[in-house]
Structure 1
Amino acid sequence: MNQGLNTVKRFALLISFFTLLQTGYSIAASAVLVGNAPGQSQIAQGPAKTLIDMASCRFSMTLSQDQWVQFSGLDLVFVAAKQLPRPTNAPRLWQATTSSGYEWHFEKPGSLSQPWFGVMCESAENFSRLTTWKPPQNDSFAMQMLRDDNDRKCPATLTDRGWEPNSLADPAQNYAFEPLGGAKSTGFIIGYHGKSRRHFTRVAFCLMQGEDVLVGSAESGSSTPLVISAEGFEQIKTAVRSIAFE
């Protein structure tokens, strides 16, 4: 009798296991695969669920109608528009060689009210203030510079109380801060606004899962700041909230 029950239990477990496998395969098959590998696309248009391979970061992201992502080697750009901007007005990764390796940020020279952001994949060990973990004091100067630069891109710390802006963030009256959390990621997003508080002039967010960190930002790239509306910032937040590490 017990042997018969054990057989039934094992059979039920096998059925559950193959059901989970089939469900996972179905989700992957229905998603647009974004990346550089064969069978993957460098551009995806919403409405769609995307599965993105970027360095060590593998994550899904949901696109609504009139939303796009474009993959360019090691970085990804999100744009809310009926069609992708022309290259002269498109968001892009700016890089420059420095003593720590290179400096980078995402910028957009035109259509400054358009919701968008760029994202890169980093390692958690290349930050010193993202969590309460303290790096070794005998690190090289180049590593310290790299961590300082990354910390400025992610000006909040994960504490026992959750995500909190740290001293690298602007005064609290200059930004809107929102912690982000889910089963597959944790992080925050910051929208910096001008004196009128009517528009957001810069956006930054960071999402972490284990040793992987997605660093996202949106800047104008010139002395004229972005003018993203509150509705545009909500579009950005909705897209960022949909990101889940796989």
Structure 2
Amino acid sequence: MVNIIKWMLGLAKAQLCLLLIFSFAAVGGETIKLGNGIRESIYATGKSTVEIHQSHCLYSMLLLKGQRLRFNTPDVVFLESKSNEKIKDWPYLSQAETSFGYSWSFKKKSGLNSKWFGLMCDNAKYFDFEPAFENQLSSDSPELQQIKNDNAFKCPGALSEAGWRPTEKAGAANSYVFEEIKNENLSGFIVGYKNKDTPTFGRVTFCLIKGESVLLGSAENAPEPLSISAKTFSELKRVASGIVFLN
């Protein structure tokens, strides 16, 4: 009788363990819809899969423990932190009116070595990714030329048969690291701009392209540079490489 009871207790423990495992798996596999629409959240935290509806860009990201997303309209911010950051401590979008519309950048008040980036969605018609763009005459309007020129600094890459390569807009060849991003769903690249006095990056940008959708990611803090380590740069590339377009 005692042996039977022990066996039943052991079976109950095993079933409880399986239940916990499946429960954690379910949490890890949870899908959160991020956006400003009906039944969409403006905040998501890992572990979870997040579907983001940002303007005409529809894409998904896999968040690990400690990773967070915040939807602000029109931008989305990714942040990894061991504790919940107060809203005032999150990176934020800064916009300035120009003759051709608005120029934008991201800023962060503290934690300049943090793992984060802001995301903006744009249309491919406002970019020139052809190698010949740097030397060709354009039939675009002055306003569109200015927009494309501004975007050429945000996405300093050209696509050739050999893949993505940096353009002169990236700056001096020894001042940055340029790496291609490829998966079955999209193509693009990431650029890390080196700080002069330390082996860190003061700014990191990436551009992901599929069809007419361009997703721009940026970690920056002008005029004060960030202090992003080589390890964090690699981890940011891994996060960006995991983005999947859904449209």
TM-score calculated relative to the size of structure 2? 0.82
Give the Cα separation in 2 of the matches to 1:80 and 1:131.
34
- Structure 1 pair 133–39 and aligned structure 2 pair: CA distance change class (3 A): farther
Matched residue, 2:75: 75
The C-alpha deviation readout for 1:144-191, integer Å capped at 9, x for no partner, is 111111111000111111000011012222222110011111000011
Residue 48 (structure 2) pairs with residue 42 (structure 1): no
Give 1:32 shift: 1.1
Whether the 8 Å contact between 1:108 and 1:221 is mirrored in structure 2 is no
Give the Cα separation in 2 of the matches to 1:85 and 1:30.
22
Give the Cα separation in 2 of the matches to 1:191 and 1:138.
32
Q: Report how many aligned residue pairs link the two structures.
A: 217
Matched residue, 2:130: 131
Give the Cα separation in 2 of the matches to 1:136 and 1:198.
39
Amino acid at match of 2:191: I
Aligned-residue RMSD, C-alpha: 2.0
Matched residue, 2:207: 206
Whether the 8 Å contact between 1:155 and 1:167 is mirrored in structure 2 is yes
Matched residue, 1:13: none
Matched residue, 1:6: none
SS of corresponding position for 1:88: helix
Matched residue, 1:113: 113
- Structure 1 pair 211–133 and aligned structure 2 pair: CA distance change class (3 A): farther
Whether the 8 Å contact between 1:117 and 1:216 is mirrored in structure 2 is yes
Give 1:82 shift: 2.0
SS of corresponding position for 1:168: helix
Amino acid at match of 1:42: I
Amino acid at match of 1:190: V
Give 1:47 shift: 1.5
Give the Cα separation in 2 of the matches to 1:170 and 1:107.
21
Percent identical residues = 38
Give the Cα separation in 1 of the matches to 2:198 and 2:123.
34
Give 1:233 shift: 1.6
* Higher deviation after alignment, 135-144 or 161-170: 135-144
Give the Cα separation in 1 of the matches to 2:237 and 2:59.
16
TM-score calculated relative to the size of structure 1? 0.83
Give the Cα separation in 2 of the matches to 1:145 and 1:106.
20
Give the Cα separation in 2 of the matches to 1:30 and 1:110.
31
* Higher deviation after alignment, 82-91 or 40-49: 82-91
Matched residue, 1:88: 88
Residue 54 (structure 2) pairs with residue 54 (structure 1): yes
Amino acid at match of 1:156: G
SS of corresponding position for 1:183: coil
Please tell me whether Structure 1 or Structure 2 has the larger radius of gyration of its CA atoms: 2
Amino acid at match of 1:245: F
Whether the 8 Å contact between 1:123 and 1:211 is mirrored in structure 2 is yes
Matched residue, 1:64: 64
Q: Which runs of 5+ in 2 are unaligned?
A: 1-28
Q: Which runs of 5+ in 1 are unaligned?
A: 1-28
